[in-house]
Structure 1
Amino acid sequence: MTVSIAESVHGNYSGQKDQLQLKDIVKTLPREVFIKDKWKTWTMVTTNVFMVVLGYWGLTITPWFLLPLFWIFTGTALTGFFVIGHDCGHRSFANRRWVNDLVGHLMFLPLIYPFHGWRIGHNHHHKHTNKMGEDNAWQPWYPEDYEVAGTPMQLVYRFMRGRLWWLASIVHWAGIHFNWRKFEGQDRKDVKFSALVIVGFSAITFPLLIATVGVWGLVKFWLMPWLVYHFWMSTFTIVHHTVPEIPFTSAENWNEVEAQLFGTVHCDYPRWVEFLCHDINVHIPHHVSVGIPSYNLRKAYQFLKDKWGDKLYQTKFSWSLMKEITDKCHLYDREKFYMTFKEYNAQKVS
């Protein structure tokens, strides 16, 4: 897709933009895409658990030179655990809140991810998608913010926006989701509970792993699949909203429809990845309504595609896509969306 999102909305839909609301788009979707199907739900969980067990079994029997293949498979299957927890966080997994919270915590345990800390922050992302100053997922920096950030933070930012993008979600995980002090009331209690669950689980699991399979076993069975999980976590989330043609917008100019429907990317991945990760890449309908379970995303996307056609941003996962994002989407320019670090440095010199 070559037409920019700004052109799509401000051009063809300039007369509708102020009138069209997200709830109007939600109403165009058929009721069945919102229905939670217990059979599909628990089949998804059972299949995912089987795939993870299969991956770990493979790690126990495979020769050393095939370990990378099983790390990739197991880490990708563990990403499916995250997607199930993701449904739980949006309450689209089950009707009962306690079921969502229980399953969400269980799915996040092997990932060492605090459920409520992620859930609350992630819902903020949905409420303020691509809004400068508010969105907490891959929000770019303005050049003037980068200027005053200090050398250590500039280096971290450059790594996250460059070829080490796949480590960025580790920084996000460590720096945000365990800090319950920034919340108030019940949210603080929930975030603290989830963080302590993860700390307690880690205090038992890691020493037990080292005692039974040694440090190499910890690396082999946990660290390497965990890094693969973070590769997908980082990749999915940056691609969802960060391409050169999609704008971030100041609060006063932010429009919900433009951000959620036209500012979200549909990216096709190899089918085995989509299967193991429960179609999290079919992301546009998820931003139209978080109430759509992951197993209904494709059906919902087809309805949106029939309605909006080529106005939706669609692409395909490839090295060239990641190279374009990590080469171009560095600092945020208010007029042309993004500038590269090279352009920033040239601007400073001049």
Structure 2
Amino acid sequence: MATVEVTTSSVDYKSSSKTTGLKTGTKGLVTLDTYGKEFKVPDYTIKDILSAIPKHCYERSLVRSLGYVVRDIVMMCVISYLGHRFIPQVQLEGYETAFKYIRGGLWCFQSYLMGLFGFGLWILAHECGHGAFSDYQNVNDFVGWVIHSYLVVPYFSWKFSHSKHHKATGHLTRDMVFVPYTKEEYVEAHQANKISEIMEESPIYTFLVLVFQQLGGLQLYLTTNATGQSIPGYSKIAKSHYAPKSPIFEPNQFWYIVLSDIGIISTFLVVYQWYLSFGIFHMAVNWFMPWLWVNHWLVFVTFLQHTDPTMPHYKDSEWTFARGAAATIDRDFGFIGQHIFHDIIETHVLHHYVSRIPFYNARDATKAIREVMGDHYRYDGTSMWIALWSCIRACQFVDDDNENAKGVMMFRNVNNIGVKPKD
């Protein structure tokens, strides 16, 4: 098949039939998801999806996008000002000890609120990396570099690896993040770790894994490429997003990775001066603790966008771009999701089909592609906190245990949830 170029007005990649939805997999495949429900593999193409999206959805406004950046920064400053203005006054004579703890709780709440808008800023920088922020790539990269650096995310490093993730979503050997164990890999890993082998079915073990994932998952991924592809011959640090010669990147991206690292170093210098000028408490409440929340929200959101007992992964033989993009799920996080997290949770399926559509047009585009996707569109309106627990318990590894759908990998587990894995 000849190479076909798709303009950026329609989709954010230029690629051959080897890596896009023009590749065709086996038609009519059916298998069982984790819960034993029938899963029909999508057979529509990326062309079917793109033709359904209204043209106005592709329109990007620099003024509007910058307005959201200003809004989120202003909200963080207002929250900080109100906290420092009023929290110290929360006291009552004779109850100093009790009000000491109350004030501590209020400082934590202030940091939580700032972390919400901090993650909103992270999402806007993420839009910059995709070119959805504006029509001006230099502006996109500058704004994205500043915001992500402040949040200790290497902008260009993330941009490059994240682009590969979008081009191979759901591909078992080419996707870049939240790559699941196969059954064989899971067995090997847990036999090597006797503690996890003993405790793997315990809810306590699941809880500890969950805490570690939420608090340290992002930095572990950036530093060692954890949950990414296994790359033999390289140490964990050599695969880091901070390493200019990491195999994650192309040789011509070397200096962009260096620029990303300069952004991170600049942030640490600013934070250090912050500490020297205003003290560790002021820095912690206004930067460090909100930053921890941003780390949490990023792992929380992205894990649940790409992990669900009803969703597949694919071997190369059955993967297509259209199928991979459909291996994502929209969820609902209420007011916060729509108005503070910029709809990144509620319109993520659309985002994987066309990531250059700005978030403020994504709901219209989502409505359009649902008509094409039909039952293949995935949405879960249950509490995301409940979903987090369910997914980490039920989605431990993938297997193509259906002889009639080899190459279509569905989640299985050893916790006696749903379909039991075959020996």
Query: Do they superpose with TM above 0.5?
Result: yes
One-letter identity of the residue aligned with 2:61: D
Partner of residue 180, structure 2: 140
Q: CA separation in 1, counterparts of 2:370 and 2:48?
A: 15
Checking the alignment, whether the CA contact within 8 Å between 1:59 and 1:71 is kept in structure 2 is no
Structure 2 unaligned regions, length at least 5: 1-31, 88-102, 198-204, 225-239, 402-408
Q: CA separation in 2, counterparts of 1:326 and 1:71?
A: 27
Q: CA separation in 2, counterparts of 1:340 and 1:310?
A: 25
Partner of residue 61, structure 2: 37
Say how many residue pairs are matched. 335
SS at match of 1:112: coil
SS at match of 1:141: coil
> What aligned pairs does 1:331-350 form with structure 2 within 5 A after superposition?
331-335=397-401, 337-342=410-415
The answer to whether 1:285 aligns with 2:350 is yes
Q: 1:309–1:57: structure 2 CA closer, same or farther, 3 Å change rule?
A: farther
Counterpart among 33, 37, 45 of residue 21 in structure 1: 45
The answer to whether 1:169 aligns with 2:218 is yes
Partner of residue 225, structure 1: 290
Q: CA separation in 2, counterparts of 1:329 and 1:115?
A: 30
TM-score by length of 2: 0.72
Checking the alignment, whether the CA contact within 8 Å between 1:36 and 1:293 is kept in structure 2 is yes
The answer to whether 1:102 aligns with 2:142 is yes
CA deviation string 1:283-341 (max 9, x = no partner): 11111111101111111112123443443111123322111111111122332722335
One-letter identity of the residue aligned with 1:268: D
Pairwise CA distance, 1:191: 1.2
After TM superposition, the structure 1 stretch with the greater mean CA deviation from structure 2, 325-334 or 75-84, is 325-334
Q: 1:250–1:153: structure 2 CA closer, same or farther, 3 Å change rule?
A: farther
Q: CA separation in 2, counterparts of 1:276 and 1:210?
A: 28
TM-score by length of 1: 0.86
CA deviation string 1:89-125 (max 9, x = no partner): 0111122221111000111122111100000000010
Q: 1:152–1:187: structure 2 CA closer, same or farther, 3 Å change rule?
A: farther
After the TM superposition, list the runs of 4 or more consecutive aligned residues in structure 1 that deviate by more than 6 angstroms: 152-155, 157-160
Q: 1:212–1:154: structure 2 CA closer, same or farther, 3 Å change rule?
A: farther
SS at match of 1:248: strand
Checking the alignment, whether the CA contact within 8 Å between 2:33 and 2:310 is kept in structure 1 is yes
The answer to whether 1:308 aligns with 2:367 is no
The answer to whether 1:119 aligns with 2:143 is no
How many percent identity over aligned positions? 22
RMSD (Å) for aligned C-alpha atoms: 2.9
Q: 1:304–1:195: structure 2 CA closer, same or farther, 3 Å change rule?
A: same
SS at match of 2:181: coil
Q: CA separation in 2, counterparts of 1:153 and 1:98?
A: 50
Counterpart among 263, 266, 270 of residue 334 in structure 2: 270
Checking the alignment, whether the CA contact within 8 Å between 2:33 and 2:411 is kept in structure 1 is no
One-letter identity of the residue aligned with 1:33: C
Checking the alignment, whether the CA contact within 8 Å between 2:148 and 2:154 is kept in structure 1 is yes
SS at match of 1:228: helix
Counterpart among 234, 241, 250 of residue 184 in structure 1: 250
SS at match of 1:82: helix
Q: 1:37–1:270: structure 2 CA closer, same or farther, 3 Å change rule?
A: same
Pairwise CA distance, 1:170: 2.6
Pairwise CA distance, 1:86: 0.8
The structure in which a higher percent of residues are helix is 1
Checking the alignment, whether the CA contact within 8 Å between 1:36 and 1:92 is kept in structure 2 is yes
Pairwise CA distance, 1:73: 1.1
Pairwise CA distance, 1:243: 0.3
Pairwise CA distance, 1:57: 2.2
Q: 1:338–1:206: structure 2 CA closer, same or farther, 3 Å change rule?
A: same
Q: 1:92–1:219: structure 2 CA closer, same or farther, 3 Å change rule?
A: same
**Whose Rg is larger?**
2
Checking the alignment, whether the CA contact within 8 Å between 2:182 and 2:398 is kept in structure 1 is yes
Counterpart among 169, 172, 178 of residue 129 in structure 1: 169
Partner of residue 54, structure 1: 78
The answer to whether 1:73 aligns with 2:113 is yes
Structure 1 unaligned regions, length at least 5: none
Q: CA separation in 2, counterparts of 1:326 and 1:4?
A: 15
Q: CA separation in 2, counterparts of 1:124 and 1:161?
A: 27
SS at match of 1:337: strand
SS at match of 2:279: helix
Q: CA separation in 2, counterparts of 1:213 and 1:343?
A: 53
One-letter identity of the residue aligned with 1:79: F
One-letter identity of the residue aligned with 1:192: V
SS at match of 1:252: coil
The answer to whether 1:64 aligns with 2:104 is yes
One-letter identity of the residue aligned with 1:256: F
Checking the alignment, whether the CA contact within 8 Å between 1:92 and 1:292 is kept in structure 2 is yes
